[in-house]
Amino acid sequence: MGAVSVRDVTVAFEAFRVFDGLNLDIEEGEFIVLLGPSGCGKSTLLNAIAGLLDVASGQIWIGGKNVTWEEPKDRGIAMVFQSYALYPRMSVRENMSFGLRMAKTPKMEIEKRVKHAAELLQITHLLDRRPDQLSGGQRQRVAIGRALVRDAAVFLFDEPLSNLDAKLRNELRVEIKRLHARLGKTTMVYVTHDQIEAMTLADRIVVMKEQKVQQIGTPDEIYRRPSNLFVAGFVGSPQMNFIKGRIEYNDHIPEFVIGQRRLPLSDYLFHDGRPAAQDVILGVRPEHLDIVNDGTWADFTIDIVEPMGADTVLWCSDREGSLQIRTNGSRKAAPGHRLSLTVDAAQVSLFAAETGERL
């Protein structure tokens, strides 16, 4: 039994039903990221776990207890919000202790917890300030602090970094990861639309789209073996290259065929043995295209060169279409140059053209 378990849950807004019978099990101490574009239902799911939203059917279990009908405060959770949601006109200290005071926690205990949380987040010097005297980053630290003092077993984060600028976002991201490591057994459920946050923070990522779970897996699985076209396209920047073609058999060996170009697939791990000859989409990450002198795929022309420092992205094309290639930043390249490429069949993904599912 996991720390959080979502069983067969449906949420209904009026007549509109969201995720019909969704299941999700989260282990104790795990860092789960719910990733997806806006409107995919990730925040709805988080709110349902928190008890801020009634489920229409199904159950929610937290820490081995059925909490489907419990009030949010009784679920053993703490939550951090995108807009910080700090109580205005209360000092940082009051913000952090308000919930505990409402629960009639002894004064000494409150003081101890606030002190501990403040030290952990390095906001001790801010304790007597008011939220409007704090920067965005400081506010979010306080919001995390307010969650910390609740001593909850499960932390819920609703896009906590989306209101911050890029630099602060990176800083706090590391901070959250460090916090998770320090707290040890605390389970964290984190909602974001930012794939970098998802990849860097998560033990497991739940990719969602249109109220449906697309794939659950470790960041590595999500990145290397995306289960469908959506996941493949949503995760990774620059985006995965998609090439429409066919699977054909040549001497009993499956090959990906597009025009004159071929890619033998003997190294590819098919889901179920040998698929039938069919239309497919080949997905290749830009870094899995190697530029070589006499590659199997020749005659590409460089259109655009995007130097990004550590590496360079080349946009190149042939008669059939265009590809992005991520290559070492030190490579000299200029538009108009000709390229020849090789593709490692073990690193690609193949999706059925009809369903978009991984083969």
Q: Would you tell me which residues interact with other proteins (CB under 8 A)? A: 47, 50-52, 54-59, 66-69, 71-74, 77-79, 81-85, 87-90, 98-99, 102-103, 143, 146, 150, 158
The nearest distance, CB 138 to other proteins, in angstroms, is 17
Q: Calculate helix-pair angle for 107-121, 92-102, nearest 10 degrees.
A: 140
The nearest distance, CB 98 to other proteins, in angstroms, is 6
The nearest distance, CB 31 to other proteins, in angstroms, is 19
The nearest distance, CB 83 to other proteins, in angstroms, is 5
Taking the least distance from each CB to other proteins, the nearer of 98 and 315 is 98
Specify whether the CB–CB gap between 118 and 127 falls below 8 A.
yes
How far apart are the C-alpha atoms of 70 and 269, rounded to whole Å? 46
The nearest distance, CB 87 to other proteins, in angstroms, is 5
Whole-number Cα distances in Å, 320 to 26, 232, 278, 300: 44, 21, 19, 10
Phi first, then psi, for residue 169 (nearest 5°) are -60, -45
How far apart are the C-alpha atoms of 166 and 158, rounded to whole Å? 18
Taking the least distance from each CB to other proteins, the nearer of 56 and 179 is 56
Phi first, then psi, for residue 54 (nearest 5°) are -75, 140
Taking the least distance from each CB to other proteins, the nearer of 51 and 245 is 51
Taking the least distance from each CB to other proteins, the nearer of 83 and 355 is 83
How far apart are the C-alpha atoms of 240 and 109, rounded to whole Å? 52
Taking the least distance from each CB to other proteins, the nearer of 12 and 292 is 12
The nearest distance, CB 68 to other proteins, in angstroms, is 4
The nearest distance, CB 321 to other proteins, in angstroms, is 38
Segment holding 241, helix H or strand E: strand 241-250
The nearest distance, CB 72 to other proteins, in angstroms, is 5
Taking the least distance from each CB to other proteins, the nearer of 66 and 328 is 66
Give which of 330, 279, 335 is closest to 303, Cα–Cα.
335
The nearest distance, CB 126 to other proteins, in angstroms, is 18
Dihedral sign for Cα atoms in the order 45, 48, 54, 57: positive
How far apart are the C-alpha atoms of 10 and 16, rounded to whole Å? 10
Taking the least distance from each CB to other proteins, the nearer of 121 and 199 is 121
Taking the least distance from each CB to other proteins, the nearer of 85 and 333 is 85
Q: In what order do the strands lie in the sheet with 187-192?
A: 77-80, 154-158, 187-192, 31-35, 204-209, 212-217
Give which of 193, 280, 268, 202 is closest to 237, Cα–Cα.
193
Beta bridge partners of 248: 255
Phi first, then psi, for residue 219 (nearest 5°) are -55, -40
Taking the least distance from each CB to other proteins, the nearer of 23 and 83 is 83
